[in-house]
């Protein structure tokens, strides 16, 4: 059983009990839900839609717009030859787009099938599930974590490592799934209708270790000294979404403009700067 929140590291947690096939805890400080026991990272990675080498091209095709958007943005903000670390690089889609724009990318991924695919394509990659293991690689001008933070056994530990690897005023880009609201709805429904609650929770967390709102993640970044934090909910960041998800993205943009932070949008892109 966890003793601290997997998102922010706070010991102020309380047990939610068993939900589906795992025990979950809720953090009293940041509101995130954490899975009590996380499965082996390589097993989880291989079971994902992006986990098997034979699925590589299909996965890269649906993510192309997201990779181009992120790489284009970095190319606008950085000078040619700048170094970018892509933690959770999967099949190297972002690394290829960075290279095409004159930026020097290094990928890190826990899945050996992804790492061999990326290396076979002539891109730089290291096999690891934690930035704690990354040493002797120097400093980076930008670090990207696209759809990975929700799988991390300890998010705060990895973000501290991101801070170590980034140069002062370096760029951090995080893309994350925002389904904390759905997990909360599932928890409330548990008292009334178990099967519906389980179904909602399954949709909310899938194989994630953490369910965290963007607001909570931004709070954590501020605590770690990151500044100039911007959150976007634009629909073009996730090109494979269906019409229902597009409606949710648009609702996220509306709530974001009214409340100052996105609530129901299923995905967000966070852009921040490391401490100077
Ligand atoms: Zn927390």
Tokens of 173: 């880009």
Ligand 1 centre distance from Cα of residue 23 (Å):
16
Query: How far apart are the CA of 82 and the centre of ligand 1, in A?
Result: 33
What's the mean pLDDT in 48-63?
A: 82
Q: What spacing in Å lies between the alpha carbon of 204 and ligand 1's midpoint?
A: 18
Whether 60 and 250 have beta carbons less than 8 Å apart is answered as no
CA 246 to ligand 1 centroid distance, Å: 29
| Alpha carbon distance 131, 133 (integer Å) | 5
How many other C-beta atoms are found inside a 10 Å radius of the C-beta of residue 21? 8
b vs e for 25-53, b when ≥16 Cβ sit within 10 Å of the residue's Cβ?
Answer: bbbebbbbbbbbebbebeebbbebebbee
Q: How far does the centroid of ligand 1 lie from the alpha carbon of residue 86, in Å?
A: 25
268 vs 203, which has greater pLDDT? 268
| 219 alpha carbon – ligand 1 mean position (Å) | 10
For 13-49, the pLDDT digits (tens) are 988 877 777 788 889 998 888 887 766 666 766 677 6
Q: Output the CA 165–ligand 1 centroid distance in Å.
A: 23
Confidence of residue 256 (pLDDT cuts 50, 70, 90): low
Give residue 22's pLDDT: 79
Which range (43-52, 156-165, 265-274) has the least confidence?
43-52
Task: Please state which CATH class domain 41-178+213-273 belongs to.
Answer: alpha beta
Ligand 1 center–CA 26 separation, angstroms: 8
Residue 41 near residue 188 (C-beta atoms within 8 A): no
* Average of per-residue pLDDT values in the chain: 85
Query: What contacts 24+ positions apart, CB below 8 Å, involve 49-55?
Result: 50/90, 50/91, 50/114, 51/111, 51/113, 51/114, 52/113, 53/113, 53/114, 53/116, 53/117
CA of 146 from ligand 1 middle (Å) equals: 21
Cα–ligand 1 centroid distance for 20 (angstroms): 21
pLDDT at residue 79, as a whole number: 97
* 54 CA → ligand 1 middle, Å: 37
Distance CA 200, CA 130 (A): 30
35 alpha carbon to ligand 1 midpoint, in Å? Answer: 12
What digits encode the pLDDT tens for the residues 85-123?
999 999 999 999 999 999 999 999 999 999 999 999 999
Q: Please give the distance, rounded to the nearest whole angstrom, from the Cα atom of residue 33 to the centre of ligand 1.
A: 8
């Amino acid at each position: 059983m966890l003793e601290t929140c997997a998102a922010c590291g706070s010991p102020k947690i309380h047990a939610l009990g068993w939900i589906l096939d795992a025990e979950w805890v809720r953090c009293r400080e940041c509101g995130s839900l954490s899975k009590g026991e996380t499965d082996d990272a390589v097993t989880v990675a291989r079971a994902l839609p992006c986990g098997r080498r034979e699925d590589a091209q299909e996965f890269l095709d649906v993510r192309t717009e997201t990779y181009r958007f992120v790489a284009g943005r970095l190319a606008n903000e950085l000078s040619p030859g700048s170094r970018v670390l892509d933690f959770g690089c999967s099949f190297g889609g972002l690394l290829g787009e960075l290279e095409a724009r004159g930026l020097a990318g290094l990928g890190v991924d826990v899945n050996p099938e992804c790492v061999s695919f990326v290396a076979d394509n002539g891109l730089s990659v290291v096999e690891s599930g934690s930035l704690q293991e990354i040493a002797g690689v120097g400093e980076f001008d930008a670090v990207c974590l696209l759809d990975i933070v929700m799988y991390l056994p300890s998010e705060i530990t990895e973000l501290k490592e991101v801070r170590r690897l980034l140069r002062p005023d370096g760029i951090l880009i995080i893309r994350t799934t925002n389904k904390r609201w759905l997990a909360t709805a599932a928890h409330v429904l548990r008292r009334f209708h178990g099967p519906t609650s389980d179904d909602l929770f399954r949709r909310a967390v899938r194989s994630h270790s953490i369910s965290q709102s963007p607001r909570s993640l931004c709070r954590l970044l501020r605590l770690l000294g990151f500044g100039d934090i911007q959150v976007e909910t634009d629909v073009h960041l996730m090109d494979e979404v269906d019409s229902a998800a597009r409606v949710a993205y648009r609702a996220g943009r509306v709530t974001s403009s009214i409340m100052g932070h996105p609530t129901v949008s299923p995905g967000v892109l966070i852009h921040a700067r490391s401490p100077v």
